[in-house]
A and B are shown apart, each in its own frame.
Chain A
Amino acid sequence: MKLIKYTLNADGTIPDYVTDGGYLAAANGSASPQDLDLVGVATDAAPQTGFANEAALLAYCQEKNFEFKDPITEEVTPLETVVSTIWSKLG
């Protein structure tokens, strides 16, 4: 298993090799439904190279300026916590 960046298939389905995904959505400028880069756990059959480690995923989040802020409580989840939670899905 590996953690990869991917898009939906052109017909709007989740790629078969993604077992737990849809995280860290980032606009990529393509046409819908492939207009979002997503991160998820994938089988080794996935053609993408996985993030090497947790630090690489954190760097990606920082590059994309992700922020996890509840709009009501305004509580911000630190990126490190988000990354750790997603990385732990690799099992």
Chain B
Amino acid sequence: MGISSLKTGAMKRNLLVGNIGYVPAVRGLFGAGASGSNVIQYINIASTGNAIDFGDLIDGGYGRASCSSATRGLWAGGQNPGGALNSIEYVTIASTGNGTDFGDLTQARAGITGLSNSTRGVFGSGLTGGSGSYTNVIDYVTIASTGNATDFGDLYRSTQWVGACASPTRGIFAGGQSEIYSNDIGYVTISSTGNTTDFGDLTVARGYLSGCSSSTRGIIAGGHNTGGNVIDYFTIATTGNALDFGDLSSTKFGMGATSSPTRGIFGGGYDYTGSEFEINVIDYITIASTGNATDFGDLLTARGYTAACSEGHGGLE
């Protein structure tokens, strides 16, 4: 689907891009992360510029999940020095304000992952406490409201740090790290409830993944093991194994990922080669193509385990 058919809050703003002209300025937000960060920063996905400060979340920490409608971005769960979080909070994407309390997850957990369509946010997987306390719980909320989450169903396995993405009807969870790295891809119908159904396999089993999508193509990238530079893709409306899309700019994990209808974004994370340091790199891909990722710009600071959302991702068209 082309940019001209974008039906999101992003239509309110345009961005002059090189010799292309004015295109909808889809805003992507990165929030929370390692070192107890509660910082939210944003980029215009149609550009290739650096991130800009947005506001602050109520709860900082790593391993939070994010999802969004065209107007509202949510962050849920995570981990800070006080333990695993059950909190959900939201921001108005078109503003640059701070987070507001939304409600609570059914289960406090970190390493949780979010996906959404325009009305419903879905959160799956996580680590509820100490080592090995992986969960398969999937929760959901109605994004336009506030209130506590409701149980949705169960993930394909108890695990953490899965990748996720969505079309307007189908949500995809993939991979994860528990005792071993998972190659699973499972899907749910976002408007219903129920357990994940088997979709196919990733090309490389891995965890600490990041996902984004157009309305038709899902992308899963990164990973905390050799193969963590791999970008996988699949057609969301079908089932089947993932295919190799290309490579990230480096082997990395724990990135925040989001998208416009055409462009996938991967920001921050940890470099896997060597000492596992936090990075500020933002990569982008053209979702409808295949190929390696291209440098976008930088986050405000190096930030691992951050979570991202946007006003124009694949679940919203």
What is the interface of chain A, defined by CB distance below 8 A to chain B? 8, 11-14, 20-23, 25-27, 32-33, 36, 38, 68, 70-73, 75, 77, 81-82, 85-86
CB distance B246 to A32 under 8 Å? yes
Distance between Cα atoms of A36 and B181 in the complex (Å): 15
- Say how far A57's CB is from chain B's closest CB, in angstroms: 13
Q: Give chain A residues whose Cβ lies under 8 Å from the Cβ of B225.
A: 25
A70 and B131 form a contact (CB under 8 A):
yes
Q: Which 7 A-B pairs have CB atoms at the shortest separation, nearest pair first?
A: A12-B244, A25-B227, A33-B244, A22-B183, A22-B205, A75-B131, A25-B226
List 25 A-B residue pairs with CB atoms under 8 Å apart, sorted by A's residue number.
A11-B243, A13-B241, A13-B244, A14-B241, A20-B201, A21-B183, A21-B201, A25-B204, A25-B206, A27-B226, A32-B246, A33-B230, A38-B204, A68-B179, A68-B180, A71-B270, A71-B276, A72-B63, A72-B79, A72-B110, A73-B130, A77-B180, A82-B179, A82-B180, A85-B179
- Of all chain B residues, which has the CB nearest A70? B177
B202 at the interface (CB under 8 A from A): yes
Contact B203 A14 (CB under 8 A): yes
A contact residues around B254 at 8 Å (CB):
71
A contact face: mostly helix, strand, loop, or mixed: mixed
Q: Shortest Cβ distance from A61 into chain B, in angstroms?
A: 11
Residues of B within 8 A of A85 (CB): 179-180
Q: Are A72 and B62 in contact (CB under 8 A)?
A: yes
* Complex-state Cα separation, A36 to B232, whole angstroms: 14
Distance in angstroms from A9 CB to nearest chain B CB is 9
Chain A residue with Cβ nearest B226: A25
Q: Which residues of B184-206 have CB atoms within 8 Å of chain A's CB atoms?
A: 201-206
Contact of A12 among B127, B183, B203, B305 (CB under 8 A): B203
Residues on B with beta carbons closer than 8 Å to the beta carbon of A23: 180-181, 183, 205
Interface of B is mostly: loop
Number of interface residues of B (CB under 8 A): 39
Q: When chains A and B are docked, how far (Å) is the Cα of A81 from the Cα of B132?
A: 14
Q: Cβ of A27: which chain B residues have Cβ within 8 Å of it?
A: 226
Distance in angstroms between the alpha carbons of A86 and B131 in the assembled complex? 21
Which residues of chain B come closer than 8 Å to A20, judged between CB atoms? 183, 201
Contacts of A22 in B (CB 8 A): 183, 201-206
| Residues of chain B in range 252-276 having any CB-CB distance to chain A below 8 Å | 253-254, 270, 276
Q: Which of the listed residues A13, A14, A32 has the most CB atoms from chain B within 10 Å of its own CB?
A: A14
| Given A13-B244, A25-B204, A36-B226, 17 more pairs with CB closer than 8 A | A12-B245, A12-B290, A21-B183, A21-B205, A23-B183, A25-B205, A26-B226, A36-B227, A38-B203, A38-B204, A71-B254, A72-B63, A72-B305, A73-B130, A77-B179, A82-B180, A85-B179
Tell me the smallest distance from the CB of B239 to a CB of chain A, in Å: 14
Nearest CB to that of B179 among chain A residues? A77
A13 cross-chain contacts in B, Cβ below 8 A: 241, 243-244
A88 to B244, CA, bound (A): 26
Decide if A33 touches B183 in the complex (CB within 8 Å).
no
Write the nearest CB–CB distance from B274 to chain A, whole angstroms.
Answer: 13
**Contact between B132 and A33 (Cβ–Cβ < 8 Å)?**
no
Contacts of A21 in B (CB 8 A): 183, 201, 205
Closest to B133 in A: A73
